[in-house]
Structure 1
Amino acid sequence: MTGDKAAQTAPVFAGRRWFFPSALLHELDPDASRSGRRPRRTARDWIVDFACFLLAVLMGLLGAETLSNSPHLSPALVAADQLIGALSCGAVWLRRRWPLGLAAVMVPVSFVSETSGGVAVIALFTLAVHRPFRYVAWVAGVQTALVPLYFWWRPDPDLPFLASVVLLVVLTGAIVGWGMFVRSKRQLVLSLRDRARRAETEARLRAEQAQRLAREAIAREMHDVLAHRLTLLSVHAGALEFRPDAPREEVARAAGVIRESAHEALQDLREIIGVLRAGESEDTGRPQPTLAALAALAAESREAGMRVTLEQRVTDPATVPASVGRTAYRIAQEALTNARKHAPGTEVTVTVTGGPGEGLTVTVRNPAPEGDVPHVPGAGQGLIGLAERALLTGGTLDHGPGPDGGFAVRARLPWG
C-alpha cells in the first residue's frame, strides 16, 4: 500500500517541482523522504538564492559607498570592512544548509562590518522561515539589543540617533514577521496535504469495506438460492428413486424439473465464484425477492408515506433470471430508501424495461425536493454496494443529479 500511495502522490508534483522550495518538496514528495539525503535545490531555490545573493551584494555596495564618505575611518578599516562584506555575500549560499549558524555568526559580523548588513537581514529571514520561533527570538533579541550600541559607535550622518535605532528595530521586527508568515504558510500546505492523504486513505478503506460487505451479502443470497435449487433437485431425484414404477408422464416431468434446477444451480454457482462469504452460521432458509416483488415494494413504500409510481414494461417477466431479478429488486429498494431520506415528499418513479436478449434496465428518478430539507448524513456506501451488485451480475450502474436538480439511478443488467 505504501508503494501505491507514493505512486499516486508523485505525479501531483511532477510538473510543479520547480515551484516548491526543496525543503517543502522533501515533505510533500514521499520519494524524496525515502532517500535519506539532504534535498537538492530546485529551480525555484536557485532563483531565490541568486536573488538573495544579488540583494546582499547591492546592499554591500551601498554600505561601501557610505564608508567611503566617512572621513573618520582609515582606508585600512574600509578595506577590511569591504573584505568581510564580500565573504559574507558568499556565505549567502550556505543559508539553507546552516540557517541558525549563519544567522548567529552574522550578528557580530554585521556589528563590525557595515557592508555585511544585507547578509544579516537575509540570514535572519532564512532563520525565521526554516527554524522554530525560539531560535529566531534569541538571534533577533541579541541583534536588537546591539542596535543602540551600533549607532553609538557608528552614527548615521543623515538621521538622529533615536530615529536610526527605531528604524532598524522596526525593520528587524518586519523581517522576523515576514519569515514567520512564510513558515506558517508552508506548514499549512503540509497540514492540508497530510489531511488530504488521510482523507483519501479513509475513503479508499470505506469503499473497500462497502464492496466487501456487498460481496458478503450477495454470497449469502447465492447460498440461499443454491440451497433452494439443490433441495428441489434432491426431492425430485428421491421421488424417482423410490417410485421407479411411476407413470412415464410423471417421470418425464420430474426429470425436466431436475434438469432445469441443475441448470439454474450451475448458473448461480458461476456467479458465486470469487465472492467472499460472510459466515457459515447464517440462516439459509429466508426467501429471496425477485422482480415480481417490485409491486409489493412499491406498495410498502406508499404505506410508509412515499409517492411511488411503478412502470413495468418487461417482455415475458416470468423468464427473468432469478439473480437478475434479485439485483433489480435490491437496486430499486436502495434507491427508494435514498429518495425517502434525501428527497422526502417528492414523487419517485421506478421504471423497469427490457426483454430477453436486450437486457433489463432499472431506472429510479426523483425531482428536487421543495423547501429546506434536513441534512441526513451518509457516506454513499449504499450506492457503492449497488454498483458492486450490478458488476457481479455482468451489468453496470450509474447515478447522479439531473438537470432539474433531481437525482437518478440507472442500472443495465444482462438478460440473455
Structure 2
Amino acid sequence: MTELRGDGAATSEYRWALPSVLLGDGSAGGRVRRSTRDWIVDILLFLLACGLTFLSLIELRAQHPPEPLMFAEQVTGALSCAAVWLRRRWPVALAVVTGLLSSYLEMPGGASVAALFTVAVHRPFKISGPITLFNLLTLIPYVSLRPQTELDRTWTAALGVAIVLTVFAWGIVIRARRQLVWSLRQRADSAAEEAKRLERERIAREMHDVLAHRISMLSLHAGALEFRPDAPPGEIAKAAGAIRANAHLALQDLREVIGVLRHSTSEGEGGEGGEGTVPERPQPTLADLPALVEECRHAGMDVRLDLRADGAPEGPGRNLYRIVQEALTNARKHAGGAPVTVTVEGAPGKALSVEVRNPLGGRHGGLGVRHGARIPGAGAGLIGLTERAELAGGRLEHGATPQGEFVVRAWLPWPVETTQEDDA
C-alpha cells in the first residue's frame, strides 16, 4: 500500500497516479503518517473538542440532570474526545457516530464538530454534503426531546444550524484551497517537464546539425583518400589532418552535449543548478557563414556564396546558419562533387531568406565526382530544419525542380529595430 503523509504528500512515484489521494479522497482505514504540522492540527482539534465538552459539562451540572443521564453524558463525551484521534483514518464513520450520539446527548457535540470539519476537508461534496445534512437533522430530536422552554429550543436550533453550516463552509474553503495549490503544483511540474523536453529537443537538433556536418566532412575526406591512394604525400597529409581536426571537433561537440544532458538530468533529480553549470559555446550567427563555406571548400566542395544581408539579429542569423549547414551536409551526402550555390538576402522589416541549390545526383554537365560510398541518411535533417524554421516564425520549402536541381528555400522574420538613438 502506498504510504501517505497526513499533509497529503506522497512519493514521487505515485505523484501523478494518485491525485485524488493527495487531496484526501483515499480509501478509509489506510495508514496515515502525520507530519509535524498534522500533529499540531490534531492536538488543536482535540483540545477544541475537549473544551466544548467541558463547557457542555458545566452547563449540564447547572441543569441537574438525572444521574444515569449524567453518567452517559460523561462516558460518551470522554470516548468521543478520544475518538478525535481517529478522524484522519475513519472521518466519515466518526462523523456519523458522533452525530448520532449528539441527537440526544450534549457532550459528544465537540467531537461531532471536529469530525464534520474533517469530512468537509478530506472528502468530496458528494460525501460531505449528506454528512452535513445528517448533522442538521440530528438537531431535530435534540431540541425536541431535551427538556427546554420554547425560547431555548429556538435559540438552540438556530445556534446548532449556525455551527454546523459554519464548520462545513470552513472545511469546504480549506479543501478548495488545497485543490488549488495541488493544481498549481501540477501545472508547475508540467511546465518544468515541458521545458526539459523542449531543451532536450533543442540539444538534439543542435547535435544533429553539428555532428552531421562533422561526420560528413570526415566521410568526404576519407572517401578522397580511398579514391586516390596514390595521391602525393602532401595531399594525403592534408586530408588526414582534416580528418583528425573534424574528428576532434565532433568529439568535443558530443562531449558538450553529453555534459549538458547530464547537468539537466542532475537538476531534474534534485541536484543543485548553481554549481557545475556547463557553459555553452558561442552559437554561430550569419557572420560565421563565410567561414562555413570556406571550410566546405577546403573539403573539396564547389560552393558559391552570395551574401546580401548584414547585421541580422542573433536568433534569425543562427537559424539561417544551421539551415545552410544542414543543406550543405545533404549536398555532400547525396550530390557529392556537384556545385552548390548559396544565396542569402534580407533587410530589417523584410524576411531573411536563403536559397541553397545544387544539381541532383552529383551531376554537373554530365560529369560527376563522388569519393567513396554514399553517406547514409534518415531524412530527419530536412524535417528538423522545417520545424526550426516554423518555431522561428518562418517557413521552409525543399524539393526537386524541373531543371534537375534540388533546392532548399527558407524565409525567416527579420524584425525592425524598435529602439533608435537620437541624433545629437
State whether TM-score is above 0.5: yes
**Counterparts of 1:197-212 in structure 2 under 5 Å?**
197-212=189-204
Give the counterpart of 1:90 among 82, 85, 101: 82
Distance 1:299 1:136 in 2: 72
Q: What's 1:291 paired with?
A: 291
Find out whether 1:115 has 2:115 as its counterpart.
no
* CA drift at 1:102: 0.3
Q: Deviations over 1:176-216 (max 9, x none)?
A: 11111211222222222222222222222222222222212
Q: What's 2:56 paired with?
A: 63
Distance 1:107 1:291 in 2: 83
Q: Secondary structure at the match of 1:125?
A: helix
Q: What's 1:172 paired with?
A: 164
Question: Does the 8 Å contact 1:124/1:176 carry over to 2?
Answer: yes
Q: Secondary structure at the match of 1:25?
A: coil
**Counterparts of 1:118-133 in structure 2 under 5 Å?**
118-133=110-125
CA distance 1:218–1:122, change in 2 (3 Å): same
Unaligned runs of 5+ in 1: 1-19, 241-253, 277-287, 311-328, 335-343, 347-375, 381-404, 407-416
TM-score (ref. length: structure 1) = 0.56
Give the counterpart of 1:261 among 215, 235, 239: 239
Give 2:309's aligned amino acid.
S
Question: Does the 8 Å contact 2:104/2:146 carry over to 1?
Answer: no
Q: What's 2:31 paired with?
A: 38
Give 1:98's aligned amino acid.
W
Give 1:78's aligned amino acid.
M
Unaligned runs of 5+ in 2: 19-25, 256-287, 295-303, 323-347, 351-388, 394-417, 420-424
Q: Deviations over 1:271-297 (max 9, x none)?
A: 335859xxxxxxxxxxx9542769x99
Give 2:49's aligned amino acid.
A
* CA drift at 1:125: 0.5
Question: Does the 8 Å contact 2:118/2:171 carry over to 1?
Answer: yes
TM-score (ref. length: structure 2) = 0.55
Give 2:9's aligned amino acid.
L
Distance 2:154 2:305 in 1: 87
Identity %: 30
* CA drift at 1:264: 1.2
Q: Secondary structure at the match of 1:26?
A: coil
Note the aligned Cα RMSD (angstroms): 4.2
Distance 1:163 1:54 in 2: 26
Find out whether 1:272 has 2:256 as its counterpart.
no
Distance 2:101 2:291 in 1: 87
User: Which range moved further: 110-119 or 221-230?
Assistant: 221-230
Question: Does the 8 Å contact 1:110/1:116 carry over to 2?
Answer: yes
Question: Does the 8 Å contact 2:32/2:89 carry over to 1?
Answer: no
Q: What's 2:146 paired with?
A: 154
Find out whether 1:301 has 2:285 as its counterpart.
no
* CA drift at 1:67: 0.7
* CA drift at 1:124: 0.5
Give 1:22's aligned amino acid.
G
**Counterparts of 1:219-368 in structure 2 under 5 Å?**
219-233=211-225, 237-238=229-230, 240=231, 254-273=232-251, 289-291=289-291, 299-302=307-310, 308=312, 330=318, 333=321
CA distance 1:141–1:160, change in 2 (3 Å): same
* CA drift at 1:152: 2.1
Find out whether 1:77 has 2:69 as its counterpart.
yes
Question: Does the 8 Å contact 2:91/2:115 carry over to 1?
Answer: yes
